A and B are shown apart, each in its own frame.
Chain A
Amino acid sequence: MIQVALPAHLRTLAAIHGDVSLEVKGQATIRSVLDALEARYPMLRGTIRDHVTQQRRPYVRFFACQEDLSHEPPDAPLPAQVVSGAEPFFIVGAIAGG
C-alpha cells in the first residue's frame, strides 16, 4: 500500500484524517497515484493537477525519500521505498504568500 501525505487544506476538503493508504494497480507513478487518489476522493480533482491538462498546479510540489519529485515525468516509476509503503509520497503546498 502506498502512503500519501496531503496538505492540511486538502485533508479538510476531503474529510481525511491522517495519511491515505492507496492500492495502486500496475506500476506506481505520480500519475497512477494521483489517479487512485482522485478516484477515491473526487473532490480532490483539480486541486493538485489541472482537470484538463493534468499539469501539476504551480504551488503544489511532490516529495518522497527526501527528493523533490515535482519535475519528474508523471509516468516515471516512484522510488521502491514509496512503492513498499516504507516512505510516504508527500503532496505539499508550496511555502508562498510572504
Chain B
Amino acid sequence: MSKVRVLVGTHKGAFVLESDGKREHWDVSGLHFGGWEIFHVKASPVDPNRLYASQCSGWFGQQIQRSSDGGKTWQPVGNKFTYDGVPGTHQWYDGTAHPWEFKRVWHLEPSLTDPDTVYAGVEDAALFRSTDGGETWQELAGLRGHGSGPHWQPGAGGMCLHTIILDPADPQRIFIAISAAGAFRTDDGGQTWRPINRGLHSEYIPEPTAEVGHCVHHIAMHPSRPGVLFMQKHWDVMRSDDAGDSWREISGNLPTDFGFAIDVHAHEPETIYVVPIKSDSEHYPPDAKLRVYRSRTGGNEWEPLTKGLPQSDCYVNVLRDAMAVDSLDACGVYFGTTGGQVYASADGGDSWAPIVRDLPAVLSVEVQTLP
C-alpha cells in the first residue's frame, strides 16, 4: 500500500509525518534541529529518501542538512553561499541603494533527474545550485546580473527568492519568483533570464505595470502542463497559459485576493487551491474563518472549503511554501499554519482534519507519495 510522508519546516525545527494511504493515522517524528528555523524541507523526486533541509539561525547563520534515510538521520553539508563577483546593490525599503548580503535559504528544489543536484533560492535574492549533494554551492549569476537587479526591493519578509519550478518537459527551463521583484524564466539552464511579469498590476508600486517590482508570493504548476502557471501575488490571483509570457487575473469571487499559498490538484490540472488572507496588514483569514478556496475551472469561480476547519476566532496565517498535495487517488491536500497546525484533506479538499497541532509556526509543508 502507498505511503505518504509530510515534511514540515517550522520556526523551531522540522518534523516528518508519515501515514499509510488511508491518511487517517499519522506518526510524527521530530523535533529535528530544535531551536533552529527550518525554512524548507524537500525530497528528491528520484530518490525519495534523499532529503534536503534549510536550517538557519539569527545567531549562527545558515546550514544545509541532508538526509539519506528519509529524515531519520541528518548530516550538515555545505553552507557557503558566496555571490558571484561583486554583488552590487538593490533598492532598500526607502529606495536607497543597499548592498546585496546573503541572509538565508528560503527554498530548496531538488533536481527532477539527479539526487545530488539541488537548487537553493536565497535572501538577498539569488539562485544557487549544488551538483554534489549540497556540499558546495555556485550561484547562477545570470539572474541577479540580468540588468534589473538594482531596481529590486525587499518585501516585508526580506528580498527572498522563494519559488523555484523546474520544467519537467524542458530541462533548460526554470521559473523563479522573488519578493518583490517578480517572476523570471530561463530557457537555457540558468545562464540568461528574463522577467515574465506582463499582465501583473500592482497599485502599490510607482509604475503598477512595471517589468519588475511586483511582490509575487508563490507560483504553482501542474507537471502535465508546464506552460500553465498559477500565481498568488501580494494582491491578485493570476494565471498564465504561455509559460509566463502574459498573465491574467483569476481572482473571481474570492473574498479577498491577498494570500500566500497556491497549489494544483495532482490529477486535475484545472483544479487549484488558495487560502485567502484578509490583507497585507492583517495576516489572518477574513471573518476569522479558515477557508481553503478551490476552483475547478482554472480560476475565477471559487468555492469555500470549510468542513473540519475552524470557522470562528481563527487568526492564523498560511505561508507561501506551506501548502502541498499528494498524488494518491483521491488527491490529498495539506497546509500548515502559523498557529502550528498541519491540516490535511484526503478527499481533494472536501473535508479537513488536523494531522498534527501545537507545533511551532509552520513555515513550509512538502508531501511525498511513496510506494
Residue ranges of A at the interface with B (Cβ–Cβ < 8 Å) = 7, 9-10, 12-13, 43, 45-48, 51-52, 57, 59-60, 93-94, 96-97
- Inter-chain contact A93/B59, CB cutoff 8 Å: yes
Q: Is B19 an interface residue (CB 8 A)?
A: no
Q: Is B88 an interface residue (CB 8 A)?
A: no
Residues of B42-85 at the interface with A, using a CB-CB cut-off of 8 Å, are 57-63, 76, 79-80, 82
A59–B57 alpha-carbon span in the complex (Å): 10
Please report the total number of B residues contacting A with Cβ < 8 Å: 14
- Inter-chain contact B59/A46, CB cutoff 8 Å: no
Residues of A near B82 (CB, < 8 A) are 51-52
A19–B60 alpha-carbon span in the complex (Å): 18
- Inter-chain contact B59/A94, CB cutoff 8 Å: yes
A93–B82 alpha-carbon span in the complex (Å): 24
Most central of B57, B58, B60, B62 by chain A CB within 10 Å: B60
- Inter-chain contact B60/A10, CB cutoff 8 Å: yes
A7–B35 alpha-carbon span in the complex (Å): 12
In the complex, what's the smallest C-beta–C-beta distance from A84 to chain B, in angstroms? 29
In the complex, what's the smallest C-beta–C-beta distance from A89 to chain B, in angstroms? 17
A97–B63 alpha-carbon span in the complex (Å): 20
Task: From the candidates A9, A45, A52, name the one contacting B35 in the complex (CB within 8 A).
Answer: A9
- Proximity string of chain B (74-115) to chain A, C-beta cutoff 8 Å, 1 when within and 0 when not: 001001101000000000000000000000000000000000
- Inter-chain contact B57/A9, CB cutoff 8 Å: yes
A47–B57 alpha-carbon span in the complex (Å): 9
- Inter-chain contact A57/B80, CB cutoff 8 Å: no
Q: Is B36 an interface residue (CB 8 A)?
A: yes
Residues of A near B34 (CB, < 8 A) are 12
- Inter-chain contact B79/A45, CB cutoff 8 Å: yes
- Inter-chain contact B61/A46, CB cutoff 8 Å: yes
- Inter-chain contact B60/A48, CB cutoff 8 Å: yes
- Inter-chain contact A46/B62, CB cutoff 8 Å: yes
- Given A9-B35, A9-B36, the answer on whether A45 and B80 have CB atoms closer than 8 Å is yes
- Inter-chain contact B62/A59, CB cutoff 8 Å: no
- Inter-chain contact B61/A57, CB cutoff 8 Å: yes
In the complex, what's the smallest C-beta–C-beta distance from A49 to chain B, in angstroms? 10
In the complex, what's the smallest C-beta–C-beta distance from A51 to chain B, in angstroms? 5
- Told that A45-B80, A93-B59 touch, could you supply 12 new A-B pairs with CB distance under 8 A? A13-B63, A43-B63, A43-B76, A43-B79, A47-B60, A51-B82, A57-B61, A59-B58, A59-B59, A60-B60, A94-B59, A96-B59
- Inter-chain contact B79/A93, CB cutoff 8 Å: no
- Inter-chain contact A47/B61, CB cutoff 8 Å: yes
Residues of B near A52 (CB, < 8 A) are 82
Q: Chain A residue with minimal CB distance to B79?
A: A46
A7–B62 alpha-carbon span in the complex (Å): 16
- Inter-chain contact B79/A57, CB cutoff 8 Å: no
Residues of B near A96 (CB, < 8 A) are 58-59
In the complex, what's the smallest C-beta–C-beta distance from A12 to chain B, in angstroms? 8
Task: From the candidates B59, B63, B76, name the one contacting A57 in the complex (CB within 8 A).
Answer: B59
A-B contact pairs, 7 of them (CB 8 A): A43-B76, A46-B62, A46-B80, A48-B60, A57-B61, A96-B58, A96-B59
A45–B79 alpha-carbon span in the complex (Å): 8
Q: Chain A residue with minimal CB distance to B57?
A: A9
- Given A9-B35, A9-B36, the answer on whether A93 and B80 have CB atoms closer than 8 Å is no
In the complex, what's the smallest C-beta–C-beta distance from A53 to chain B, in angstroms? 11
- Inter-chain contact A60/B62, CB cutoff 8 Å: no
- Inter-chain contact A9/B76, CB cutoff 8 Å: no
Residues of A near B60 (CB, < 8 A) are 7, 9-10, 13, 47-48, 57, 60, 93
Task: From the candidates A9, A12, A45, A51, name the one contacting B59 in the complex (CB within 8 A).
Answer: A9
A96–B60 alpha-carbon span in the complex (Å): 13
A59–B59 alpha-carbon span in the complex (Å): 5
The 8 A-B residue pairs with the shortest CB-CB distance, nearest first, are: A43-B76, A47-B60, A59-B59, A93-B59, A51-B80, A46-B79, A46-B61, A47-B61
A59–B76 alpha-carbon span in the complex (Å): 21
In the complex, what's the smallest C-beta–C-beta distance from B43 to chain A, in angstroms? 22
In the complex, what's the smallest C-beta–C-beta distance from B79 to chain A, in angstroms? 5
A51–B60 alpha-carbon span in the complex (Å): 12
In the complex, what's the smallest C-beta–C-beta distance from B18 to chain A, in angstroms? 24
